[in-house]
Structure 1
Amino acid sequence: MAKSSRSNWLDLSSSLLSNWACLCNDLLISIIEKLVHRSDFIWFSNVCKSWNSVALNHRKQKLNQLSNHQIPWQLTRSCDETNPSLCNYLPNTSPTIFNIKLRIPSKYKTSMWRRYGSSHGWLVFMEKTTWMLVLLNPLSGATIHLPPFIDSPLYIFPVFGRVILSRDPSLGSDFEVLFSCAIYVAHLKFGDKFWTSKIFRDSYSPAQSLIFYKDQIIGVSTYSEIMCLDVISGDNGSGRIEFRNITPKCSSMYFEHCFLSETTFGDLLVVCRRILYKSKYKRYKVYKLIESDGQVPRLVPVDNLDGNSIYLDEKHNQSISVLASNYVGYCRPNSIYYQHVYFQKSEITFKYYEVVAVEEFNLLEDRRRRHLIPISLETFWVVPSMFSQLVDGV
């Protein structure tokens, strides 16, 4: 069902629609469980009213399951008030710019440098005057204004900050927000009036990357050490943040970038990247967190991704995993796609200029390829959050 073409859905005659409407709910639910693309879920909901009713009842669970496990898109960079576009410049595919109208207000178009990337399809901006984070759905135009930070803005770096959401806000208001930069970490449960924060005045935050994983907030250090971030509630609505180690260092090697990624099978991976070009060590090392009953959690090295592909970005420690077999022709299994800024030397002026590149690394082949992107892009991935609203409107 997931591989059916869209035309098959649209070409159904009116006489056939009545028969489709008579299918029992158990069968329809079994079909929903086999869908792997959000777009398939939309076409399912458009067949007839009875199918749409079943889709609505299972929307929240299914869309949450598909969230962050879809092929990501990219966003063209806008230096003025022109509207950026969603595009697909993935390696091994034909470049595509989608003719989709984005609903991004002018004040955000001109302040993209103050954005904190994307999480679950929502763009994140910092209001310059109020120091408030704003979540923006670029497809629906919906915005969510979060409470301002009460700490000094000196601790909040617009360029290096990272924001992650626990889930897609389109699926309900029970989501959490995590902000982090070099010396500052803050947590907010949507609906709260104040952030719970921690400032590291004498050192950097021990966690280079953070992720919401199985009702926990997990972090990893540059030495691939796993820790848990605990938000502890206090009296009078106050709270504090503490880090608790889960595993010791699994390597004495320092990694410039460490990412956390949840696979489509629910495993938690640590993806470590080294910048050194002339080294006996691999550019990437991947570890899996093993949590067995009655045993101390530990990290074990792995040499494949179980058919997954992982998308990472340089500045925001973003991680998106997909099952490559669901996207044949778009990605290769057991491959890492790292989007970053690359400085290329001009053959005419001999000066270096900035381009966006995607580094492709296959674990089985132990081979790296760099793909330069010929247009100006933002250096983060976007998994559009649009389908819950489309289903509601059918």
Structure 2
Amino acid sequence: MTNWSELPEDISDLFLNRLSRCVEDFVIFDVVCKSWRSVAIAKRNKQSDTFFTRFAPWLMLAKRDNDRDESVRSFYSHSSKRIFNIQLPHIKGTRCWGSPYGWLLTIGFDLNIHLLHPLNGIQLSLPSQPMFPELSDCYNNPEYLCRKLVLGSNPSFWSTRSNQGCHVMALFGPYCRLAYATPGDKDWTSLEDHYDYKDIIFFNDHFYAINTDGYLKVCDISSIPPKAIDLASPPEDIYPTEFFYLVEMFGDLHLVVRYVKGEVECPALDYHFDPTRFEVYKFNFDTRSWIELYYWDDKDEALFVGNNASFAISTSKYPEFMGSSIYFTDDHCEFYKKDFCDMGVFDFDEEMVEPF
């Protein structure tokens, strides 16, 4: 048969099932011809809740000031070592955060906040930036309004969930306070607590947050008023640092501490932070204490940390990534449009950084 478009749909479906875990393979399959596209759409609709999560993660590249088309965003595939430019008119003029579910969280200079899936075009609205409490003096600075947005769960499942996993938690304002909302809410609800938080994670049906001093809090958003409750002190003997990341690995809650040398020269920036090493701690909920890991018993994990939500993946499922490694990106929100230098991979066993 010379006309591939005339293949029976069940045969085309077998081809689609044997594609690699690179989402670009699916995209290419989707545009071969109308008959193959119909097979791809049927597959995607049948597995709508989990389809895109089976692909290896992409790195969304920073928007450059001299880019002509502001509606096009670039993504780097570590699997194929290629860059893909995707037309995304919905995020023109916005700042974006990634998530481990394939969704983007966007904030525009029009002060509106959305969830967007870049591959299927679905968009959900969240309360706008002026709905953050106590921020009347910061409306002209979107970077102060929101520092980080973290999803409680995959938005594809939200139609079947009614618990706090459907929420989005935000670090907002110049003092990095906590607030949460869900699509359909009119306002963001702030938590009754102090400020200066560094990271958030949704783990075992609860949001957890860590502040600049390394104290771990559990967020009780069902209480009136909602509040962050002290859970654990920082690990012993940690040095003051600007970088804390909470991540789930092997089913346990972990803390990644990133140490830097400080400001060093960089051709693309006035300065940047040079990472020297990372430390990883596992949290023991029984003793409410952190245990430092000097090696990983199971090498089959790669961590991804940065300004977006941190997460881990299995390198046996995605062999193009290195196990027992930490993939990191620059997380200075004030420089998110520039050419970052401090991005790379930290080999946890060898304690070495390999830059991208």
| Shared fold (TM-score, shorter chain, > 0.5) | yes
Change (3 A) 1:341 1:50: closer
Query: Paired residue for 1:365?
Result: 350
Q: Please, what TM-score do these two structures have when normalized by structure 1?
A: 0.64
Which of residues 82, 86, 89 is equivalent to 1:96?
A: 82
Q: How does 1:300-379 map to 2 (within 5 A)?
A: 300-302=291-293, 303-304=295-296, 306-313=299-306, 316-328=307-319, 330-340=320-330, 354-371=339-356
- 1:169 aligned partner, one-letter code: P
The alpha carbon displacement at 1:94 in A equals: 6.4
Please say if 1:189 is aligned against 2:214.
Answer: no
Q: After the TM superposition, which residues 260-279 of structure 1 pair with which residues of structure 2 at under 5 Å, given as runs?
A: 260-263=246-249, 265-276=250-261
Q: Distance in 1 between matches of 2:39 and 2:63?
A: 42
Return the index of the structure with the highest Cα Rg: 1
Deviation at 1:256, TM superposition (A): 1.8
In structure 1, give the amino acid aligned to 2:287.
Answer: V
1:124 is the counterpart of 2:124: no
Residue 166 of structure 1 deviates from its aligned partner by 1.5
Aligned to 1:229: 219
Give, in angstroms, the shift of residue 121 of structure 1.
2.7
TM-score, scaled to structure 2: 0.70
Give the Cα separation in 1 of the matches to 2:154 and 2:118: 13
Give me the whole-angstrom Cα distance separating, in 2, the residues matched to 1:341 and 1:179. 15
Distance 2:198 2:222 in 1: 21
SS in 1 for 2:287: coil
Match of 1:87 among 67, 72, 75: 75
Q: Using the TM superposition, give the Cα deviation of residue 213 of structure 1 relative to its aligned residue in structure 2, in angstroms.
A: 0.9
Secondary structure of the 1:218 match is strand
* Structure 1 gaps, min length 5: 1-9, 21-31, 235-239, 343-352, 372-394
Question: How big is the shift at 1:250?
Answer: 1.4
Relative to structure 1, is the Cα distance of residues 54 and 184 closer, same or farther in structure 2, using a 3 angstrom cutoff? same
Distance 1:52 1:138 in 2: 15
In the alignment, which residue of structure 1 is the partner of 2:156? 170
Paired residue secondary structure (2:329):
strand
8 Å contact from structure 1 (residues 223, 251) kept in 2: no
CA RMSD of aligned residues (A): 4.2
Distance 1:135 1:15 in 2: 33
Shift of 1:187: 0.7
> Cα–Cα, structure 1 residues 162 and 71, in superposed 2: closer, same or farther, change >3 Å?
same
Pairwise CA distance, 1:307? 1.8
Q: Give, in angstroms, the shift of residue 155 of structure 1.
A: 5.5
Which among 275, 284, 293 is matched to residue 278 of structure 2? 284
Q: CA deviation at 1:219?
A: 1.3
Matches of 1:57 and 1:297 in 2, distance apart? 42
Which residue does 2:31 correspond to in 1? none
How many equivalent residue pairs?
310
* Counterpart in the other structure of 2:235: 250
Residues 256 and 280, structure 2, Cα contact 8 Å, conserved in 1: yes
3-state SS of paired residue (2:316): helix
Contact in 1 for aligned 2:105/2:114 (Cα 8 Å): yes
Counterpart amino acid of residue 59 in structure 2 = W
CA positional deviation for 1:164: 1.2
Identity of aligned residues (%): 20
When residues 258 and 89 of structure 1 are mapped into structure 2, their CA distance, relative to the original with a 3 A threshold, is same
The CA distance in 1 between the partners of 2:20 and 2:290, in whole Å, is 29
Structure 2 residue ranges without an equivalent (≥5): 28-34, 264-274, 333-337
Counterpart residue type for residue 58 of structure 2: P
1:236-275 Cα offsets, whole Å, 9 max, x none, are xxxx331112222212422220101123x32221110011
- The structure with more strand, counted as a fraction of residues: 2
